[in-house]
Amino acid sequence: MPRLFTPLTLRDVTVRNRLWVSPMCQYSAVDGVPQEWHHTHLAQFASGGAGLIVAEATAVTPEGRISPEDVGLWTDAQRDAWAPIVAAIRRRGAVAGIQLAHAGRKASTWSPLTGRRGSVPADDGGWATVAPSAVAYDGYAEPVALDIAGIDRIVAAFAAASRRAVEAGFQVLELHAAHGYLLHQFLSPLSNLREDEYGGSLRNRARLLLRVLEAVTDAAPGVPLIVRFSATDWAPGGWNADDTVTVARWAAERGADLFDISSGGLVAHQQLTTGPGYQVELAARVRREARVPVNAVGMIDDAAHAERVLAEGAADAVMAGREWLRDPHYGLRAASELGAEIDYWPAQYLRARPAGARRPAA
């Protein structure tokens, strides 16, 4: 059996394979409530053989949305709208996860679907943003520096959202501490210029993330928890792989089960070269030096490449995004390409099953 199609257990949750769906924003919610689009979008990946499906960045407060069209989990109505989507994923044999997020200074921006860039004015439904310091992302409105009371409210919001997520049926939670959003903004010295207990040293800059992690584990005890890191800012003087290794150790000590290793997104002047698997070595380093489980992401777009990442010990799982959008049945195709005998081909699709593939269990 190819390693990509062996199960992986996180606490009490067993994922049927190691080919997972990355959280991908759809910018299609109404007042934070997921719509029929989200149901179809996510359930199709479960039919297509995915192991873990992580729903898109989901704001824990209204002000934490990337755009006015982002999903949220700050109300019970949002929770109730997520429940049938989660049930559809689980009925098809996949594990349902959700990424909890706050966009910080990168909030209140135009959805990419509008073709516009920058901050949304208040007259068009935008709002004032918050951040560790009053330092704007290039081309966006200047945020308000959070005071201690504001930080406390955000910690509480993450905890409340995690409770709602579990009530909706999600089996895995992910904290978004990457791509230049609020938790990442606190981690990086390029965006965090504070001089109190949340700024300065690495321990202080990691304080908010660790507080959120502890609050979420208290609110959702026993639920597997993933932390997504940008392992480097790709910018001089910024957050880097050494920092990621150290903070991953601290997070694991406080209950994080796996780390989703991406990179970049904090500053517009980042310098990086992309290509197939360009972030794999970052994941491998965190796995090796922090001695924690990780998944790799970043242009790992074919089954053989994904299998090689696992076989070489660079990661414990692989997340893909665009390849699942191109082919929502990527999991079934990858199993056929690697000769994996899986028993979760949908009965309705058996006529398309390649010769020799294993029939579903009765």
| Amino acid in the structure at residue 114 | T
Q: What is the pLDDT of residues 86-125, one digit of tens each?
A: 999 999 999 999 999 999 999 999 999 999 999 999 999 9
Phi, psi of 343 (to 5 degrees): -110, 20
pLDDT-derived band at 354 (thresholds 50, 70, 90) equals confident
pLDDT average, residue stretch 295-324: 97
- Examine the residue annotation and report whether 344 is marked as an active-site residue of this protein: no
Report whether pLDDT(284) > 60.
yes
Has residue 357 got a pLDDT over 70?
no
How many Cα atoms occupy the beta-carbon half-sphere of 221 within 13 Å? 1
In this predicted structure, what is the pLDDT of residue 361? Answer: 46
pLDDT in tens, 304-318: 999 999 999 999 999
**Position 126 pLDDT exceeds 60:** yes
3-class DSSP state for residue 133? coil
- Mean pLDDT over 325-329 rounds to 98
Q: How confident is the model at residue 251 (pLDDT cuts 50, 70, 90)?
A: very high
Residues forming beta bridges with residue 166, ordered by sequence position: none
Domains of the chain: 3-352 (3.20.20.70)
For the stretch 130-179, pLDDT in tens is: 999 999 999 999 999 999 999 999 999 999 999 999 999 999 999 999 99
Q: What is the dihedral of CA 259, 261, 262, 265, to 10 degrees?
A: 50
Q: Are 139 and 118 in contact (CB under 8 A)?
A: yes
What average pLDDT score do residues 242-254 get?
Answer: 98
Mean pLDDT score of the chain, rounded to an integer? 96
Mean pLDDT, residues 260-264? 98
Least Cα distance to 55 among 91, 21, 104, 13 occurs for 21
By percentage, how much of the chain surpasses pLDDT 90?
97
The pLDDT value given to residue 355:
74
* 358 pLDDT higher than 70: no
H or E segment to which residue 242 belongs: helix 241-253
Strand runs labelled E in 148-241: 172-177, 225-230
pLDDT given for residue 356 in this prediction: 57
Of residues 27, 137, 181, 330, which has the active-site annotation?
181
pLDDT one-digit tens code per residue, 173-232: 999 999 999 999 999 999 999 999 999 999 999 999 999 999 999 999 999 999 999 999
Question: How confident is the model at residue 154, as a pLDDT?
Answer: 98
